[in-house]
Structure 1
Amino acid sequence: MLSTSKFVAIALAIFLCVIATLVTGKVSQPSEPKLVWTMVNVNTAVQGDAHLIQVKRGKTVLIDAGYPEIAQEQLIPFLQTNHIDHLDLVFVTHAHRDHYGGIEPILQAGINIKEVYFNLPDKKICDREIPWGCNYEEVLKYHQMLKAHQAKVKSAYPGQTFNLGNQATLKILYAFDGINTPVGTTDINDMSLIIKLEHAQHKYLFTGDLNRAIGGYLAKNSQELAADVLDVPHHGTEGLAPNEFFEQVGAKYALVPSPTGLWCSDRSSRTRNWFQDHDTPVWVNGFSGHIRVEDYGDRLAISAEKEDNTSICS
């Protein structure tokens, strides 16, 4: 049984909580988000992807890293300003330089990478994109560079699940090899890792440069795409997954890793029109700068580095 003194102390604590609620008129909200996803602006001149995920009392994760030159100007200062001295996990969605190139300046800045998931593409598929796309020898060089810095370089495959701490999990939904796929041989973009992040009641989908072939297949056959916030595939450009893919995701908010010129070009008109027609709020790196998604468990808050963050092209 509780002693009289303990009972009085508990009753007093409850009474004070009730009084505090009545005085303020509201129940206090968590002062800090439990998870933060920042779509870092590596889209100042040309397109790129870089997504930093920070879990309170948990892991720090980077998905893609942008071109090396822009990463040096944008990603590295952002990491340093936020006192990021290590990355627990890095995922490279696919073997294009605007997604993996920033790894080099990260290492040069002395930021420790513990594990990186970076699938080696099929050389024949890679060589088809010479000189504009995939560079097999450079990809090999980056693998060796990471190993030289004591990073564990691993392959990503469907079903891999990572516990990030504090109710957050990350799962590789799909990782096609470009050869043995349901749609036959694909390009490098359709080898993009499709990654789902979940925290409390919220879901986030990262899509790399998912294109029409695999995107169309997933729209018809996947039951795992639903998400609250979507990282729009392939910088929002025409070759990306079809509109049926957006319908399956059903996102409440869309974030686009794209510079203003690309987003406002004819190449992105289908994507712009779809989100506008569906009244989906959109944030674009080129307009918004760094885009920050704060997850408090029971609610989300999205903010932008630049106040004038309109994504509507005139």
Structure 2
Amino acid sequence: MWQVFVLDVGHGLAVVIKQGNSAFIYDTGMAWQESSIAEQIITPFLHFHGISDVKGLILSHSDNDHSGGMAYIIKNWNPEYVISSEDLHRSTRCIAGQTLTWGALELEFIWPNQSVPRAYNPHSCVVRVIQSDSKQSILLTGDIDAVVEWILVREPHKLSSDIIMVPHHGSRTSSISQFIKVVGPDVAIASTAKLGKWSFPNPSVVERYKKAGVAWLDTGSSGQVSIHFYSTNWQVDSLRQGKGQHWYRQMLRKGVE
């Protein structure tokens, strides 16, 4: 079994992928002068779940709400891999076509095509995490926009995933219909702040996913979202749904079963 946790960090993003007592972190949430999401939320979460080894830290791009806690995670958890689409000191570059094997999981790096001196939204490191045997998968998209999505849909076989982290918190500048169709997810999850100043997610984006038959969850409404992957199925739970309420999927799609 492996698990993916989309933490409730307000406006920003922090995702923990757990396999045994080891984890990959995708984005760290924001930092401020006195502390950070990495210190206040991610680290206690890791300890609570018995994670003793942060195998890797993937930074989608350099905005504070995504990478503010980078220094804290590196200093306190010493990850073997620090992966970024930005040219950071002693980091591994996130470049399309690269892969990384981590236990039973494969990390496929899909975007960008080259690293940059400073990574903005369109340079976000896009990663598909796939379970080698069952082919269950989640697509992590950072803050890519519609232009990047149009580029990516040219190679649809690289995108197909069971679950998608919604690009740019559900902004109207992302999640074009063709991108949703090519990814073909069962569930879309957006990291949002409840009553946040940016008013994410945009209602038209939510409707776009629902019209495509995709179940929608966002942390602003549902709190932390947890995905539990088993050998033949997976289950999605959200903190504010209450005990016993969850979104469940048998592995009947894509010829897996």
- Tell me the SS of whatever aligns to 2:47: helix
Post-superposition Cα deviations, 1:145-164, rounded to whole Å, max 9, x if no partner, equal xxxxxxx5221212211111
More helix by share: 1
* Change beyond 3 A, Cα 1:218–1:97: same
Check the 8 A contact 1:288/1:308 in 2, yes or no. Answer: no
| 1:298-313 matched pairs, under 5 angstroms | 298-307=232-241
Other-structure match for 1:48: 12
The TM-score, its normalising length taken from structure 2, stands at: 0.82
Match of 2:126 among 172, 190, 194: 194
**What letter corresponds to residue 198 of structure 1 in structure 2?**
I
Matched, 1:280 2:214: yes
Partner Cα separation in structure 2 for residue 286 and residue 224 of structure 1 = 29
Check the 8 A contact 1:176/1:192 in 2, yes or no. Answer: no
Other-structure match for 1:124: none
**What letter corresponds to residue 283 of structure 1 in structure 2?**
L
* Structure 2 unaligned residues grouped into runs of 5+: 246-257
More strand by share: 2
Deviation at 1:288, TM superposition (A): 1.9
Match of 1:74 among 36, 41, 44: 41
Partner Cα separation in structure 1 for residue 205 and residue 196 of structure 2 = 12
Deviation at 1:37, TM superposition (A): 0.6
Aligned residues: 237
* Change beyond 3 A, Cα 1:305–1:176: same
Partner Cα separation in structure 1 for residue 145 and residue 115 of structure 2 = 12
* Change beyond 3 A, Cα 1:97–1:74: same
Post-superposition Cα deviations, 1:225-263, rounded to whole Å, max 9, x if no partner, equal 111001110001111142211111110011111112259
Match of 2:110 among 173, 182, 195: 173
Largest Rg, 1 or 2: 1
Deviation at 1:220, TM superposition (A): 4.0
Match of 1:155 among 93, 98, 114: 93
* Change beyond 3 A, Cα 1:264–1:192: closer
Deviation at 1:264, TM superposition (A): 9.1
Match of 1:218 among 152, 155, 159: 152
Partner Cα separation in structure 2 for residue 240 and residue 163 of structure 1 = 29
**What letter corresponds to residue 215 of structure 1 in structure 2?**
E
